[in-house]
Structure 1
C-alpha cells in the first residue's frame, strides 16, 4: 500500500514516516486491503484540525484525528475500468492528525508519542475501511481490532 505523509508541523522525520508506513501496511495486511491501495496522512496543528472539524463536522473544537473515506460504496468503485486490464490505485482516503493533540494525549495517558500517533493512525485507518464506533457493538469490534493491530505490531501501552 502506498502511504503519502504530509507534515505541516515540521515535526515528523523520515524515520517516523518509515515506521508509520510500516504500521499502516501491517494494518492493511490484517484487513486484507489490496496492495495497490493508497492513503494520505497529514499532520497539522490544533488550529488547523479545529478548522477542519468545524468545516466538515460542525464541531468547533480541537480533536486528535479526522478521517475522510473516499469510498462509501464498493459497488460504485471504478466501474468504468472493469475488464480494461488497467490497475488503478484504490484511494482509501485521508487521515488528519493533530500533532499537538497527540503530544498532549501521550503525556496524559503516560505513553510515548509513537504509541499515541500509532493509535491515531490505526484508528483513522480503520474508519477509512468502514469501521465505526457509533454503537456499543461497533465500538467493541473496532476498538478490539485496533488494540490487536497495535499489540501485534509492538506498540503496547
Structure 2
C-alpha cells in the first residue's frame, strides 16, 4: 500500500498523523478484503481550504470535516470484482497499485469535533479516515439502511486498529 500524505496550514495535530493514517488505511483495506495493493492520497488541511473544496465540489457553502473522492465506481459497495485488471484504468501504471482516491481532512474539525464528542483528537482523526475509506470502497450513508451498514463497518475498522468508541 502507498499512502501519500500532504499537510498544509499551521494547525498541528497532537499525535503522529502518518502512523495513525497508515494503521487505519491498512485495517480498512484488510477489513474490506481488497485483493489489490492500493494507493491513497491524504490531504490534511484547514477549514478555509476544505470550505472552498466543499463549495466547489458539492455546492455546500461551509467547511466540513472530511471529503472523499473515490476513483472507482462500484456496482455494489466493496465489490472489487468490477475492477478490470486488463484495462488497467484504475491502476497506477508506474506501481501497479489500485488508485482508490483522495481523502481531505480538516485538522481544525478534528480538534473541535473531538472536543464536542468527548473523545481524543486521535480517535476523531482515525474515525474520519475509516469513514472516508469506506466511501473510497463505494459505501454511502444517504439512506438509513446505508448509514447503519456504514456505521457497523466503521466500528469494526476502529476496533481492528484498537481505537473503539
Both structures adopt the same fold (TM-score exceeding 0.5): yes
- RMSD over aligned Cα atoms: 2.2
Normalized per residue, the structure richer in helix is 1
Q: State which drifts further: 45-54 or 6-15.
A: 6-15
Deviation at 1:110, TM superposition (A): 0.9
Unaligned regions of 5+ residues in structure 2, if any?
A: 75-80
> Structure 2 length as normaliser, TM-score?
0.84
Structure 1 position 105 matched with structure 2 position 145? no
Structure 1 gaps of 5+ residues are none
Question: Is 1:155 aligned to residue 163 of structure 2?
Answer: yes
Flag the structure with more relative contact order, 1 or 2, with Cα contacts below 8 A and sequence separation at least 6. 2
Which stretch shows the higher mean deviation, 106-115 or 30-39? 30-39
Choose 3-12 or 19-28, whichever is displaced more: 3-12
The TM-score with structure 1 as length reference comes to 0.88
Q: Which runs of 4+ in 1 moved over 2 A?
A: 9-16, 73-82
Q: Number of residues paired by the alignment? A: 154
Q: Please list the CA deviations of residues 92-143 of structure 1 after superposition, one character each: whole Å capped at 9, or x if unmatched.
A: 0000000001100001011111000001000000000011101111111111
Structure 1 window deviating more from structure 2 (102-111 vs 35-44): it is 35-44
